[in-house]
Structures are given as structure tokens and as C-alpha cells.
Amino acid sequence: MRYAEAGYNLEVDLSTGNIERVETDPKLMETHLGGQGVNAKIIWDRVKPDTKPFSEDNLLIFGAGLLHATPVVGCNRTSVNTINPMTGIFGHSCMGGHFGPELKHAGYDRIIIRGRAPKLVYLYIHNERVEIRDASHLAGKGPGETTSLVREELNEPFAQVACIGLAGENKVLTASVEHGYSSASRGPGPIMGDKRLKAIVVRGTKDINIAHPQELFELCLRMKKWINDSNGCGDWMAVDEDDSFHHNNFAWGYSRTRIKNYWSEELQDRWTHWKYDNMDRQAGCYNCPKGCINVISWPGTKRFGYKCYGKDTYHMAAFKELDYTYGMLGQCLDWGVDSYSTPQAISLGIELYDSGVLTDQDIPNFPTDPGERVKFLLEKIVHREGIGDILANGSWWASRMIPGAESFEHNTVKKMEQLPIKLGKLNPAYYLMIATGEKMAITQIEGSFPQDPIRDPVKRKEFVDNWDAAPYQKFKDMFMNWEKRDQISIEDTCALTDWNEAMHYIDDSTGLCGFVSSFRGQFGGQVAYSFNNVPELITLATGMEMDKEGLWEICRRNRDLVRCINNRLGMRRVDDDPPKDHWAVRDPELEEKLLDAYYDFRGWTKDAVPTKAELHRVGLDYVADELIQLGILDPNEGTPAQEAAKAEEQKSGGC
């Protein structure tokens, strides 16, 4: 019997209409867990490097996490992976809500979609019954309307729906997949549009078997109470109205302008009223007691839900206040656009116009008020009209398509917009995470080791003593000895980056939410999930033996595999590069040392490709073989330190 897993994939070819239910190899759980881990393996095996993102051969995979549909609390992130048309590399994307667990109850661990439908369709899944259905009546509709229409016509009030809005249909590269008030950005939206797949509707009524059900259930019931009461879990921005951090520290407009003393008590008071006077509730995701999603009914717009910093990006792009964003979000949700990248593409457009690179000929009737301008360009982008057709590709591509614009673009890594953070002095850990991460958002990389040291030694000690999430003593020692943000050894920087990343690789493969796990530990240290308890949960759910070291090894394998997919798509050391102006004061020598040390730590070559020995170690020999065959990996090349030692030896040899 399979535990925790459904044991089947659903294969859908939209070009031929072929649908298959395919039993999966149980070994994959042992090597990659589930979710993004297994999705990456499928993409390595089946999406060849010459595949264009917008082609029938690109896959779009909705993967449930290994622990979805078990009692594990706060476990609901569905990994949606594809080749991201904006970056041209593996698209890391996930969404909360209820989709993954429902999919498992329908009897599938993932849906693998290839091809392109001849016309707009949606996919309907009710256990074994799977149909590709006409969606022409849903064209241009937003997620609210789409969801209720399909539920009604299928008579499935309990079905879960993931869909795209107009932006996705028009293949806007910053479009997202919408599911309730959760969304999956960074790639899947435009791919779903390209495949002419409007929506996936899933309803499942089957059991998922658990290896040690009673123990797991009782443990999870206790954890649910603990998470509910804990300040160390969930999005604190849902309850703390002091948002001086983003407004005083992040850059406004096209990530250029910092307003250091923006926040005030008077402003906080006014914004708090806007929020609570118009809030319907704070909603959560499947099996989680937290309420991170603020649901707002703002006069004149459709009801919307947002999390976290999602409420800031539009007004910060337009130099407005919260009421401006509230006035926008209903429409943004309806169109299905990501609120991180889109405002930056828009504000690049505004900057280009103000600089004379774009003229009235390029943008006829362009308004003068910045708020009106943002709305104007958003509408053009979503409809891919005029200048919007160019900006719809994101700021990196737009700046290369508009003559004279390239030098203006300044806030991308690997062609994708980053958070608008512009700081003074280089921060080694953040340098490494932003440079080498390939998840395109720092929030998907950072998160376990605190961002800043605690100055007061007594408080520091207290923190460390209560720090249950720290996987090894070395992290506690590291923190005890840490005095100044930028003064931390290269070795420690690599180790903490590894821990931060590994936690996200746990979440992506099990389906846990970062707010109870990978992202949240850095703030206060009191987070629900860590290397100290996830192995036990995996064992109880799956019956598979698991410990800290074993779990870390899987994370390492999954991380290497994603890197190899991207190497095969052309990514190298030069691409491991933060935005030039992320820090005003850079330290090129230290940065090179950090990169070398990180590649050493990971077992990668100087050019950022996992070595043959590393791939052998994590059981990915078949990956090494292909990289060698393609000429991407030299089988004799070691890590930077190994190569340096070899060179030393050659110098002293022969005498």
C-alpha cells in the first residue's frame, strides 16, 4: 500500500486530447519526496533544453506536496512548475489554498500538462472522471466568475478551481494562476495561457492512507493549537499595522526613491481604519489556523484578498497611499497579474517616458498623475495593447526591446524583477542568496537564520536557548558569536545560506507553507516546522525512515537537480549576480570569494555547475552523464578549491 501518496500522476495532452492515469514509481518519494522535487525530476527527464517555453513540448506541472491530505497542519502549497518564459529557466512557483490536498483526494499526486488546446478549454477532474471541456464562455473572465460558473455548470460546489484571468490568456509574462485568494506567479500564468487552458477544476473524494495514522493525527491536533497560539507562525503583517519597514526602507517608483521617514503614527492610524473598516475577515488556507489573507471589500471594486507586502507594491510604484492599492487589487486579481513584477514593469515605463526614451507617439494620451499612469499602463499590459505589448514581457525584456532603454533597467536577477531593496553596505549572506538563488524572489530563499544579530548578549543568549528550530549546535554558536551584520565568516555565510535554502526545499517538496516553516523562523525563531520535527512527520505519514541528515540529503539532491536543469538551459556563474545597485558599496573581491566558497560548499565547479563527484554523491549520475555529453560539465573538473589545490600540486610537482 502507498502511504501519504496517491500513487498516480494524471497526464494530459491538450494537443491530442489524450488523458492517462499513470502509476508512479514509489522510489521517487525516497529520492525527491514530492511537490517540486518530483516535478523537477520530470522536467529534467522530459523537457529537452531546446524546448521553447511557449511550445507544446514545455510541461506545466501542478504538483501536490508529499504531506498534502495528511493531518499535517499548514501543509497546502501546491508547486506549479514549468520553464518560465520570462527567465528561460526552471520556474519556481507555488500557491496556498486547497488545491493540492483536493488533487490527492481525487487520486493524483500531480497533473502533468503538455501540448496546446486548439481553443480555450478547461480541465475537469472528479476522481477517475477526467474531461477536457470547452471554455469559450469563460474567455476574459476573472477567477471569481470563472470559479462560480464552472462549479455551477458541473454541479460541484466543493470543487477547487485554479484558473487564469485575461492577463494569462494574453500570455502576459507577469500573469499568475489564481486559486481563491492564493496565486502562483513566476511562470505558470502565461504558460497556462499559451496552452489555452483556462482553468483546472478538481474534486476528490478518495482516502489517502497514512502509515501511523493515530500518532500523526494526535500530534497534528496538538500542533494546530500551538500554531494557532504562536506568534512565531503566520504573517505578522496581518495583525501588526506598523508597516514602516517596507515604506521607510524599500524603494518607491521604479525602485529608485527611498523615503526614509515616510511612516508616521497619523498615517498608520488612517491606514488601519481603511483596512479594518473594509475588511470582511482574515482567511486562511487548508488545515491552517492562521488568517494571513486579508479579505477586503473596497467600495467600487470587486472583493479581494491579499497577503503580506502585496498591499504595498502598487501605491509604492505610484507614490500614493494604501487606499490607492486597495482601489486596484480587485481589478488586479480579476485580471490575474502578479503584484511583484507588474508594478515594476509599469514604473519602468513611466521612467522611460519621463526620460524621453518613450514619447507621446509611443504612449498616446498618457495621463500626468502617477496613479492614473499606473492604471493606464496596467490596462495596456493586460490587453497587450501598444506599449503594453512590450511591457507585458517584464522590465528586463522590455528594456531590451525599446531602443535606448537597456541602461535604465536595474532591478532584475536572471531576467526577473526583484524586491525593490536598495541598501548601503554589502551583506554577505544576502549577496550569496540573491546571487545564487534561482527561485527569483528572496522570500523563497531566505528565512531560517535571523537577518540581524541581537546586540544585547543577554537577549541573544535567551534567543539561542529557546531556539528549537536550529538543526545543529553550530548555528547556535554562530549566532552567539555574531555581533555585526556584515561581519560573519565566509564559511558561516555558506552554512547559513545552505540551511535557509534547504528549509525551502523541504517546503516545496512536502507542501508546507513558508509562514509556518522556511520563511518565518528568521523572525523570532519560534516556528512550527524545522529539521528537528519534519523527519518525524514524514516517517509517520509515509512509513519511510527519515532523519535530519537524510532529509538534508534530499534537499541537496533537489537543489542540485534544479541547478542542473538551469545549467542545461544555459545558466552559469555570470548569471549568479545581484542587481548592480542593490548595495551602494560593493566589494568585488569579497564577492568572488563568496561565490567560490559557496560553490566549494555545494560541490559545484567554478562555473556554477555541480561536479561529477557531487552528482554521484547525491545519486544523480544520469544527470552528470548528460551534462558531460552536452559539453556543459568537464568530468575532471572539481570545485574551485579542488582546482586550486590541483594547480598548487602541479606547481610543486616534478621535483
Partner 1 sequence: MGEKVKKIVKTIRVDLDKCNGCRGCEIACSAYHATPKYSAMNPSRSRIRVVMDQFNDEYVPIRATDYAKAGCDGRRIYTIKGKQYSECSFCGTICPTREMFFDPDSGLPLQCDLCADEKEPLCTQACPQGCLTYVEMEVEEEDKEEVKMDEMELGMKALLDKFGVQKVADTFNRIAQKG
Residues that bind ligand SF4 (CB under 6 A): 74, 76, 96, 234-235, 284-285, 288, 290, 292, 513, 515-516
Task: Provide long-range contacts, Cβ within 8 A and 24+ apart, for 630-636.
Answer: 630/49, 630/568, 632/567, 632/568, 633/567, 633/605, 633/609, 634/605
The grid cell for 43 is 522536467
288 binds partner 1, rule: CB under 8 A: yes
Which C-beta is closer to ligand SF4: that of 285 or that of 357? 285
Beta bridge partners of 304: 296
Q: Which amino acid is at 541?
A: A
245 binds partner 1, rule: CB under 8 A: no
Contact 74, 176 (CB under 8 A): no
Q: How far apart are CA 75 and CA 205, in angstroms?
A: 19
Question: What's the burial of 604, exposed, middle or buried (CB within 10 Å: 0-12/13-18/19+)?
Answer: buried
Q: Which does 224 bind (CB under 5 to 8 A by kind): partner 1, ligand SF4, none?
A: partner 1
Which C-beta is closer to ligand SF4: that of 292 or that of 358? 292
Q: Which does 207 bind (CB under 5 to 8 A by kind): ligand SF4, partner 1, none?
A: partner 1
* Least distance from ligand SF4 to the Cβ atom of residue 60, Å: 23
Applying CB under 8 A, what is the total number of residues that bind partner 1? 47
Q: Which does 187 bind (CB under 5 to 8 A by kind): partner 1, ligand SF4, none?
A: none
282 binds partner 1, rule: CB under 8 A: yes
Contacts (CB under 8 A) with partner 1, residues 182-241: 204-210, 213-214, 216-217, 221, 224-225, 228-229
Contact 81, 509 (CB under 8 A): no
Nearest residue to 325 (alpha-carbon basis) of 345, 298, 349: 298
Residues in the chain: 655
The grid cell for 26 is 514509489
143 binds partner 1, rule: CB under 8 A: yes
Q: Which does 148 bind (CB under 5 to 8 A by kind): ligand SF4, partner 1, none?
A: partner 1
Q: How far apart are CA 478 and CA 474, in angstroms?
A: 6
Consecutive H or E run containing 217 = helix 213-229
What is the distance of C-alpha 236 from the center of its chain? Answer: 19
Q: How far apart are CA 470 and CA 521, in angstroms?
A: 9
Q: Which does 6 bind (CB under 5 to 8 A by kind): partner 1, ligand SF4, none?
A: none
* Least distance from ligand SF4 to the Cβ atom of residue 174, Å: 22
* Least distance from ligand SF4 to the Cβ atom of residue 84, Å: 23
Decide: helix, strand or coil at residue 275. Answer: helix
Beta bridge partners of 421: 250
* Least distance from partner 1 to the Cβ atom of residue 105, Å: 6
Consecutive H or E run containing 180 = none
Q: Which does 96 bind (CB under 5 to 8 A by kind): ligand SF4, partner 1, none?
A: ligand SF4
* Least distance from ligand SF4 to the Cβ atom of residue 356, Å: 43
Contact 595, 577 (CB under 8 A): no
Q: Which amino acid is at 152?
A: E
Contacts (CB under 8 A) with partner 1, residues 14-73: 69-71, 73
Q: Which does 71 bind (CB under 5 to 8 A by kind): ligand SF4, partner 1, none?
A: partner 1
Decide: helix, strand or coil at residue 116. Answer: coil
What is the distance of C-alpha 25 from the center of its chain? Answer: 27
* Least distance from ligand SF4 to the Cβ atom of residue 602, Å: 29
289 binds partner 1, rule: CB under 8 A: yes
Decide: helix, strand or coil at residue 254. Answer: coil
Beta bridge partners of 178: 163, 183
Nearest residue to 566 (alpha-carbon basis) of 595, 594, 604: 604
Furthest CA-CA distance within the chain: 84
Q: Which does 513 bind (CB under 5 to 8 A by kind): partner 1, ligand SF4, none?
A: ligand SF4
Q: Which does 234 bind (CB under 5 to 8 A by kind): partner 1, ligand SF4, none?
A: ligand SF4
526 binds partner 1, rule: CB under 8 A: no
181 binds partner 1, rule: CB under 8 A: yes
Binding mask 252-281 for partner 1 (x = CB under 8 A): ----------------------------xx
Which C-beta is closer to ligand SF4: that of 296 or that of 513? 513
* Least distance from ligand SF4 to the Cβ atom of residue 234, Å: 4
Binding mask 360-379 for partner 1 (x = CB under 8 A): --------------------
297 binds partner 1, rule: CB under 8 A: yes
Question: Binding residue for partner 1 (CB under 8 A) from 148, 244, 257, 489?
Answer: 148
Question: Binding residue for partner 1 (CB under 8 A) from 32, 110, 186, 290?
Answer: 290
* Least distance from partner 1 to the Cβ atom of residue 144, Å: 4
75 binds partner 1, rule: CB under 8 A: no
Q: Which does 181 bind (CB under 5 to 8 A by kind): partner 1, ligand SF4, none?
A: partner 1
Q: How far apart are CA 414 and CA 653, in angstroms?
A: 41
> SS3 letters for 388-453?
HHHHCCHHHHHHHHCCCCHHHCCCEECCEECCCECEEECCHHHHHHHHHCCCCCHHHCCCCCCCCC
- Residues near partner 1 (CB under 8 A) are 69-71, 73, 98, 105, 143-144, 147-148, 157-158, 180-181, 204-210, 213-214, 216-217, 221, 224-225, 228-229, 280-291, 295, 297, 302-303, 305
